Copies of this chain bind each other. A is one copy, B any other.
Amino acid sequence: MEYNYSKAVPQGGVDTVGEILKVAASPNVISFAGGLPAPELFPTSQLQQATDRVYQTSAESALQYSNSNGFRRLREILAQRMARRGVSCDADNIAITTGSQQSIDLISKMFINRGDTILVEKPTYMSALDVFNTYGANIVGVEMDDEGLRMDALEQALKNHPEAKFLYTVPTFQNPTGRTLPVDRRQRMVELARQYDIVIIEDDPYGQLRFAGDPVPAVKSFDSDGRVFYLSTFSKTLTPGLRTGWVVADPAFIKHFTVIKQSADLHTDNVAQQVIAEFLADFNIDEHIAKIRQVYRQREQLMIEQIQKHFPTGVKYTNPDGGLFIWVEIPGNINTQDLFDQCIKNNVAFVPGEPFYPGEPESGTFRLNFSNMSEEKIKDGIQRLGKAITEFTN
| Given A1-B227, A269-B269: A240 and B65 interface contact (C-beta under 8 Å) | yes
In contact, B44 and A265 (Cβ under 8 angstroms): no
Query: CB-CB < 8 A to A226: which residues of B?
Result: 1
Q: Across the interface, do A263 and B47 meet the contact criterion of CB distance under 8 Å? A: no
The B-contacting residues of A in range 62-97, CB under 8 angstroms, are 62-66, 97
Q: How far is the CB of A163 from chain B (nearest CB, A)?
A: 10
Select which of B3, B42, B259, B262 is within 8 A of A60 by beta carbon.
B42
Decide yes or no: A265 and B98 within 8 Å by CB, A4-B111, A15-B259 being known contacts. Answer: yes
Stretch at the interface among A51-59, A178-186, A286-294, A312-320: A51-59
A116, A227, A260, A268, most chain B CB atoms within 10 A? A260
Given contacts A10-B259, A243-B265, whether A39 and B64 have CB atoms under 8 Å apart is: yes
Contact code string A211-247 (vs B, CB < 8 Å = 1, else 0)? 0000000000000011100000001000111110000
Residues from chain B with Cβ under 8 Å of A47 in the complex: 55, 59, 63
Per-residue contact bits, chain A 23-43, to B (CB 8 Å; 1 contact, 0 not): 000000000001011011010
Is the C-beta of A377 less than 8 angstroms from some C-beta in chain B? no
Q: Which of B44, B97, B110, B131 contacts A8 (CB 8 A)?
A: B110
A105 to B105 CA separation, bound complex (whole angstroms): 12
- Contact: A134 with B109, CB < 8 Å? yes
Cβ-defined contact, A130 with B241, below 8 A: no
Q: How many copies does the complex hold?
A: 2
A245-261: which residues lie under 8 A (CB-CB) from chain B? 253, 255-256, 259-260
A393 interface hit (Cβ, 8 Å): no
Q: Contact between B240 and A8 (Cβ–Cβ < 8 Å)?
A: no
Of the listed residues A110, A165, A241, A271, the one surrounded by the most CB atoms of chain B closer than 10 A to its CB is A241
Asked if B6 contacts A110 (CB within 8 A), the reply is yes
Task: For A49, give the chain B residue with the smallest CB separation.
Answer: B55
Q: How far is the CA of A294 from the CA of B135 in the complex (A)?
A: 46
Are B8's CB and A109's CB within 8 A? yes
Q: Are B242 and A63 in contact (CB under 8 A)?
A: yes
- A390: B residues at CB distance < 8 A: none
Among B6, B109, B130, B225, point to the contact of A1 (Cβ < 8 A). Answer: B225
A280 interface residue (CB < 8 Å to B):
no
Contact of A66 among B127, B165, B241, B265 (CB under 8 A): B241
B contact residues around A62 at 8 Å (CB): 241
CB of A335 closer than 8 Å to a CB of B: no
Contact B3 A199 (CB under 8 A): yes
Would A127 and B255 be within 8 Å (CB), given that A60-B42, A269-B242 are in contact?
A: no
Query: In the bound complex, how far is the Cα of B265 from the Cα of A113, in angstroms?
Result: 20
Interface residues of A in 3-22 (CB under 8 A from B): 3-10, 13, 15
28 contacts between A and B (CB under 8 A): A4-B111, A5-B110, A6-B113, A7-B113, A15-B259, A36-B64, A37-B64, A39-B60, A39-B64, A42-B60, A42-B63, A44-B55, A48-B51, A48-B55, A51-B51, A63-B242, A64-B240, A64-B241, A65-B235, A105-B264, A127-B263, A131-B263, A240-B270, A242-B270, A243-B269, A265-B265, A271-B272, A272-B272
Enumerate chain A interface residues (CB-CB to B < 8 A).
Answer: 1, 3-10, 13, 15, 34, 36-37, 39-40, 42, 44, 47-48, 51-52, 55, 59-66, 97-99, 101-102, 105, 109-114, 116, 127, 130-131, 134-135, 165, 199, 225-227, 235, 239-243, 253, 255-256, 259-260, 262-272
